[in-house]
Amino acid sequence: MSERSPRRVVVATGNPGKVKELGAALAGLRFELLTQGELGIEAAPETSCTFLENALGKARHAARESGLPAIADDSGLVVPALGGAPGIHSARYAGTNASDAANNAKLLGELPSTPSPAHFTCCLVYLQSPRDPAPIIATARWHGLIIDSPRGTNGFGYDPHFLVPTLGKTAGQLAVDEKNRLSHRGKACRMLAELMADDCDIPISRP
């Protein structure tokens, strides 16, 4: 591979909302991002109790199956009034393969009152290979309030119920670039890109 050709990297997610946001936020890296679905790779089981360990597991699995470097995102909504739930169970809060609508309904049913403070967390991991002993890791949070009436149809997951107080809008009312400027995932992507820029082996086009 010439030094200038983009590096092929597998994105270890099956969530189309994440693919859209990661693709936009990581566009500055000279990577050709391929999803694990495109490569016929099944999702890794999420068996750990932290976002970090789950992200490492997903990236390791995708790197092993594809033979390519991998980026994984493990993320979720943390609500202090619910003892941190749904947390790492955010995607399956209302059950395995639950829809976003079912997860949101369960969230509102469990909350003692609204608006309720909450944050999204995103942990991103980049592995050069499944046995990479020095993963690049970036993690970030986005604070807001859970409200009972949904607003907006953009984004995914809990976005329509996640109010960003400084904007008076929910995450579901934000365009991808606007959300990435503020969000847990957007911030983690910028941190990951910075950390990668310090790694001379990784091709980065700096603005």
Q: How crowded is residue 148: how many other Cβ atoms within 10 Å of its Cβ?
A: 13
Tell me the per-residue interface mask from 35 to 54 with ligand ITT, x by CB under 6 A, - otherwise. --------x--x--------
Using the rule CB under 6 A, is 31 a contact of ligand ITT? Answer: no
Tokens of residue 105, six digits: 């309904």
Binding-site member from 60, 61, 185, 187 for ligand ITT (CB under 6 A): 185
Using the rule CB under 6 A, is 13 a contact of ligand ITT? Answer: yes
State yes or no: is 74 an active-site residue: yes
Binding-site member from 26, 68, 94, 120 for ligand ITT (CB under 6 A): 120
Tell me the per-residue interface mask from 74 to 93 with ligand ITT, x by CB under 6 A, - otherwise. xxxx------------xx--
Using the rule CB under 6 A, is 65 a contact of ligand ITT? Answer: no
Q: Indicate the residue among 28 and 152 with the shorter CB distance to ligand ITT.
A: 152
The CA distance from 201 to 136, in Å, is 13
Using the rule CB under 6 A, is 14 a contact of ligand ITT? Answer: yes
Binding-site member from 10, 18, 69, 186 for ligand ITT (CB under 6 A): 18
How big is the chain, counted in residues? 207
Residue nearest to ligand ITT (CB): 157
Q: Which amino acid is at 113?
A: S
At closest approach, how far in Å is the CB of 68 from ligand ITT?
17
Using the rule CB under 6 A, is 173 a contact of ligand ITT? Answer: no
Strand-pairing partners, residue 136, are: 126
Order of strands across the sheet that contains 162-164: 31-35, 7-11, 70-78, 116-127, 136-146, 162-164, 169-170
Residues contributing to the site for ligand ITT (CB under 6 A): 13-15, 18, 43, 46, 73-77, 90-91, 103, 120, 155-159, 171, 183, 185
